[in-house]
Amino acid sequence: MAKIIPIKDLRDTNKISEECHSSDEPLFVTKNGYADLVVLSNNLYEELLHQKPSSREELHFTNSNPINMSLDPEFMGFVKVGAASLNVKVGDVNHHVEEIKKYVRIAVEQGVKVLVFPELCITGYTCGDLFYNDDLLKETEAALVSLREFSKDYDVLFVVGAPLRYNGKIYNTAPIIYHGEILAVYAKRYLPHHREYYESRQFNEYHGINTTITIGDKQCLFGNRFILQNTLHYKMCIGVEICEDMWAVNTPSSEEALNGANIILNLSASNEVIGKGEFREQLISATSARLISGYIFSSCGASESTTDILFSGYKGIYENGDLLEESPYFDDGLIVSDIDIERLENERMHSSSFVNEYGVNVDVIPFRMKLNNSTLNRKISQNPFIFDETTYEKVIHMQALGLKKRLEATKTENVVVGLSGGLDSALALIVCTETMKLMNLPLTNVHAIILPAFGTSDRTLNNAINLAKEIEVTYQIVDIKNSVTSHLKDIGHDLTTQDVTYENAQARERTQVLFDMANKVHGIVVGTGDLSELCLGWTTFNADHMSNYSVNISIPKTLVKELVNYYAKNHPTCSDTLNDILLTPISPELTKEGESIDQLTEDKIGPYELNDFFIYYYLRHNYSLKKILFLAVDVFVDKYTPEFIKSCLVNFIKRFHSNQFKRSTLPDGIKISEVSVSPRGDLRLPSDMSVDTLLSELD
């Protein structure tokens, strides 16, 4: 039998300590006849802290209790989610239940698998002291039973806001409902104490351990230290928090994310005052980025009571800092998007700071949900490397700063760049001139060397000469046909077979000339090759592959075009030439039949827009080839056939891995885009790996 003592007996601390350590029971302390304190030994406290009642063990499992998990190999990682806000009639529970059912049906029609409603949406957030009313609380419980039964016919997990009684107190909660079950009830951990909110008048914060609550005739978990995991697709883990919890210093979602939750649901009642919306959206975005998670936010709207404040009805779906979808202000309804949990998993694997260093564990509640590869409700760009035009000046400035530092380190003021009349060398020349401006040096310190050979067309030759003149750099034409001819004769080449020897001899002769010219002017050779060429191996080893410093090394071809186009718009003196360079077919110009450019790069290696798409998702997000193909077919559906896209992807993978040896010996150059292939930076790969297993995924 438990022992009860009056508070005055606490004066005898030695006796109290002896009694606590000699018994397996706590001492209950009364004050003025009412229960006030519980005193127990540290050993008993530790035992109780880790104890899990049998009733809870039947309802869920913990991280230490394994359960059978599976992962559909055809699943592409996207979970369709939604956020909805209701037309509110404050206190009208039946009306709100019908509103919730309406939006559940609409969401299911759109393929939504996870749906979030606002805080206290069962009753309305602005009930005030009506929350004490016994009838309202009974109606709330009956509403949850009704929604639980309703959910049997709909394959969507949804979470609603409800006031619930537990142990004689009222809590602001979020019951999570799926397939005829209330999986758990999240109890709000932090209540707001702002001037306009009075939640602490009716509600209590919950900081206890997870326990159970009875709703209708069934028990479920009650607390705020748990996550939900889909056992059919174990990568899908869900956490919950309510409004103010997100604004706290130590947020519940932090614990949840560190224990595996990658989709956080926030039921909110966020009032609107001038300036708050922007800050709130920044906070949601930053929270999703900090947690490397998806974040679904749903707030009640203007149909709440307007006695003192107005609510925005803002709904937003975010992923790792990116806004995927949001609603207009003061708008009820539903928003839908797709969260990519595989992207989030990959980001977490690469984050050294994403570690549960404090060992905070939460309970894990299983549910079984089949996920399908449906039509995506999110924007997937055909050109993931393309930024907003406002950033292009910054990109060129970053390239120039990298080169400036290298010139200062080598104590030289001259640069040599091979100018071909193509896109890459045009951008490199632009960067060189901007570097001279940064260093207050004359543009004549830029030495553009034009190196025509067997395949050079009149168009590219003239564009190279014109660009050098218009930008006002020093230029020189060095025709290498004679020297290459002599070299080919020396090695016994017949001079008529336009094979790889014929092509590479020209490329290596150009590089030799550039390095010798750099010695002559006491400068360095600036490389022109871009990221796309490096990934595809479309560069001659120890020729255009090599330089003293490479400014385009992290710039893919699609971005090169945008940067050159941007510069043309803002520099009229060279805009005509740059525009013609932009229109010139991309070619190495190493072979020639007649007068036209017949050696077209994209005919050999595939369209650069496809290759850059592959580069981004293969290297930046480490997606499977099947997923990359799935996305490419979806976004390029109006331009290329699935068969053509697949053939280009296979070609990309073969070329990428067979040419790793070239990237292992890259010159220096800064990372600017999200992808770098520097062996000293982002990419560590063997040069002789097999791609058979990778490609078998596409069979």
Nearest to 560 by CA among 532, 583, 587: 532
Strands 315-319 and 294-299: antiparallel
One-letter amino acid at 406 equals R
Give the bridge partners for 326, in sequence order. 316
Task: Report the 3 state secondary structure along 156-203.
Answer: CEEECCEEEEECCEEEEEEEEEECCEEEEEEECCCCCCCCCCCHHHHC
Cβ–Cβ under 8 Å, residues 677 and 619: yes
The reply to whether 535 belongs to the active site is no
Choose the catalytic residue: 20, 80, 99, 119: 119
Query: Residue 220's CB: how many other CB atoms inside 10 A?
Result: 22
In the sheet that holds 237-242, the strands lie side by side as: 61-62, 363-367, 226-230, 237-242, 263-268, 294-299, 315-319, 322-326
CA–CA distance, 339 with 80 (Å, rounded to integer): 6
Q: How many CA atoms, within 13 angstroms, populate the side-chain half-sphere of residue 48?
A: 14
Nearest to 292 by CA among 314, 261, 334, 331: 261
The reply to whether 169 belongs to the active site is no
State how far Cα 392 lies from the chain centre.
22
Distances (CA, A) of 532 to 174, 270, 405, 607: 49, 46, 25, 11
Distances (CA, A) of 214 to 121, 143, 149, 166, 271: 20, 14, 15, 9, 32
CA–CA distance, 300 with 268 (Å, rounded to integer): 7
Q: Which two tokens stand for residue 111?
A: 């393929």
Q: Which two tokens stand for residue 62?
A: 């913990």
Burial of 671 (0-12, 13-18, 19+ CB in 10 A): middle
Torsion sign over Cα 455, 460, 462, 465: negative
Burial of 336 (0-12, 13-18, 19+ CB in 10 A): buried
Choose the catalytic residue: 121, 127, 220, 243: 243
Contacts of 599 (CB under 8 A, 6+ apart): 455, 587, 588, 589, 590, 591, 592
| DSSP code of residue 688 | T
Query: Residue 103's CB: how many other CB atoms inside 10 A?
Result: 23
Choose the catalytic residue: 80, 113, 188, 627: 188
Cβ–Cβ under 8 Å, residues 65 and 56: no
Distances (CA, A) of 158 to 98, 103, 136, 176, 350: 14, 10, 22, 6, 31
One-letter amino acid at 74 equals E
Distances (CA, A) of 330 to 315, 324, 665: 10, 19, 57
Contacts of 541 (CB under 8 A, 6+ apart): 661, 662
Task: Name the one residue in this structure whose structure tokens are 């529970």.
Answer: 93
CA–CA distance, 213 with 57 (Å, rounded to integer): 14
In terms of DSSP H, where are the helices of 439-476?
458-471
Give the bridge partners for 238, in sequence order. 228, 263
The reply to whether 243 belongs to the active site is yes
- Which residues are catalytic, by number? 119, 188, 243
